Each structure stands twice: as C-alpha cells, then as structure tokens.
Structure 1
C-alpha cells in the first residue's frame, strides 16, 4: 500500500492588497540598505499563526472545516518595531505591538488543531511579518527606526490555510481555505 502524498501547510493572517502595499514600503526601505537579500513578493507577505509542515493531503478538508468553525474577529495590527528575527539566518521582520486578540486567535487555533490530532511545534508564538532573508549590510547596519520611522496600522481579518511549495526562486503559496 503506497503512502498518500503530503503537502506543506500552515495557517496565516493574510492581508488585503492595500495592507500588503503598506508592508511593502517597509520592505523597500530595507532593500536600500541590503540590496543583496532575498525579498519575498508582496503577494506572499503574511503573519503565520500555526505551521503544520508536511501533512497528509487527505487531511486538508478537515483543516478547512476547522477553519470554518474558528471565530476570526477582524483585527487591526499596529507594527511599530522592525529588526532581525533570526540574525544567524539573516531574517528581518516587522513585529506588531501587543495585541491580545491576536494571541487569543492563535491560541484558539492551536488548541483546535491539537484537539484534532495535528501536532504543532513547541515554541512560543512570536508574531511577525518576514520582510527579507539572507540580509547582510554592506554599509552601516540598519536600525529598526530607519526601516519603520512611524508605526504602521494594518487591518487584517482574514485567516487562511495555505499550501507552501518551496522553489528556488522563493515559495509559492496557494490558499486552500479562508475565513474572514
């Protein structure tokens, strides 16, 4: 009996085109300081809520049902910090200000996933939007306030189940289900 194919899945807050354009402006400022980094496309900017990784393809409909039952209130995130997420990997990100509703949403999603038998990595939730990978600075290092001179308010109420396909030119995300 052969194994069922697996797909790489995760849940994320996805943004409207206008919100992605605002996030893209911070990304463009970073590009001026680190032109050799890898920059994800504007359409891929998101905030991961739960990463499932390789998941049997046959379980995707169950995840869609779980998402449909998830209370997903509209959120307004305010990004006021920018900086390295993982200096050893050269990841730079935007970080939202404290948002209890975001943590409640992520906690509810994680509890429902674990209750349905989807194990999640055991690490604290650190909300962020990744702007670039492999960031190195040929000149003076960038300070967070150079990248984000004033806070950025971004409405987001859409929670998406995304399939991630890794490619040499960058990941391709396909929305399988959404709420909000």
Structure 2
C-alpha cells in the first residue's frame, strides 16, 4: 500500500519567508545550526506521519468541512530546544483560532490512526536544525504579523538528497467577522 509522509500546516507568504531568512542570517552565525530552506518554513498544525492514500483522502474530506475563522499570527517569540537541536520562532500568545484549528486537525488525525504527541501544542516555525547548545537567541526586538487565510496538507518529499514540502491540498479559512 502506498503511503506519503504528511502533515497539516500553515504556509508562510513568500515575503515573510524571505524576511525571516534575512533576519536569521543577520542574527545567527553560520555555525549556529543548519538553516531550514525558505520554501520549507511553515508552522505545523498536526503531524500525520506515513499515511495511506485512503487515510489521506479521508482526512482531506474532513479538513474541507472545517469552518474556522481566519486569524492574525504575531511572531514575537524565539527559543532553542537543545535536545532536538532546534531554534524556533513562535508567538508569545497564540491566537484562539490557531489553537482551535490545531486541536480540530489533531483530533481528526488521532481518530484516523495518526499518533499525536502527548506534548501540548506549541506553535512554532523551525528556523535552524542541529543547533549547537551555545546558540544565542537575539534580543526581543522582533515582531512579524501574518494574516492567516488558509491551511494546507503538506507532503514531505525527499529527492536528490533534499527534503522539500509540497502542498497536497489547501483550504480557506472563513473571513473573520468584523468586531
């Protein structure tokens, strides 16, 4: 049976990807870790793992039914997880819409046999992998806002010695109601 390595995620606009790449280059020396390719910068909502085509199709049908409002993501926090060697960018206060969307997708994934981490959801964008334990984080003088209008199902594709993330499907979030 054919499988794909899949995950639900928020894709970042190209302009934000480029801004983050420049900021990362300005803030972290080359020896700090392995940079994630600009095109691979994303925020994982629910990791699915190796999924059969049948399960992937069912999860896509369920994702299409989600009527979650759009939200704004404020990227204003950074950290280093020494054990996995990851430097990340995230938000000090995750928007309720992001948490709800992740909870919905993680619950659907679990019901369809995709094991979910017992760790609480920590929304983040991985900037560096294989980061040294001595990596110094930049001072807290950064902030990016990103209006999130859709979410996606991404496939992890390993080709020619590189991993790339390719969109399998995308779904719009409904317009936020005026308050």
Note if contact 1:162-1:176 (Cα within 8 Å) is conserved in structure 2. Answer: yes
Q: Deviations over 1:94-116 (max 9, x none)?
A: 01121222111111222233344
Q: 1:134 aligns with which of 130, 135, 158?
A: 130
- Which structure 1 segments of 5+ residues have no match? none
Aligned partners of 2:75, 2:112: CA distance in 1, in Å? 32
What residue number does 1:122 align with?
Answer: 118
Aligned partners of 2:168, 2:157: CA distance in 1, in Å? 13
What residue number does 1:93 align with?
Answer: 88
Q: CA deviation at 1:48?
A: 0.3
Aligned partners of 1:143, 1:20: CA distance in 2, in Å? 19
What residue number does 1:11 align with?
Answer: 8
What residue number does 1:73 align with?
Answer: 69
User: Do residues 154 (structure 1) and 150 (structure 2) align?
Assistant: no
Taking a change above 3 Å as real, the CA distance of residues 14 and 59 of structure 1, as seen in their structure-2 partners, is same
Q: Deviations over 1:112-158 (max 9, x none)?
A: 33344443232211110000111238xx742331xx52222122222
When you count helix as a share of all residues, which structure comes out higher?
Answer: 1
Q: CA deviation at 1:175?
A: 0.7
What residue number does 1:20 align with?
Answer: 17
What is the DSSP-based 3-state SS (H/G/I as helix, E as strand, rest coil) of the residue aligned with 2:35?
coil
User: Do residues 106 (structure 1) and 98 (structure 2) align?
Assistant: no
**Alignment length, in residue pairs?**
171
Q: 2:41 aligns with which of 23, 40, 45?
A: 45
What residue number does 2:177 align with?
Answer: none
Taking a change above 3 Å as real, the CA distance of residues 143 and 39 of structure 1, as seen in their structure-2 partners, is closer
Q: Deviations over 1:2-36 (max 9, x none)?
A: xx0221110001122122223223322244x2446
Q: CA deviation at 1:169?
A: 4.4
User: Do residues 62 (structure 1) and 58 (structure 2) align?
Assistant: yes
Note if contact 2:75-2:91 (Cα within 8 Å) is conserved in structure 1. Answer: yes
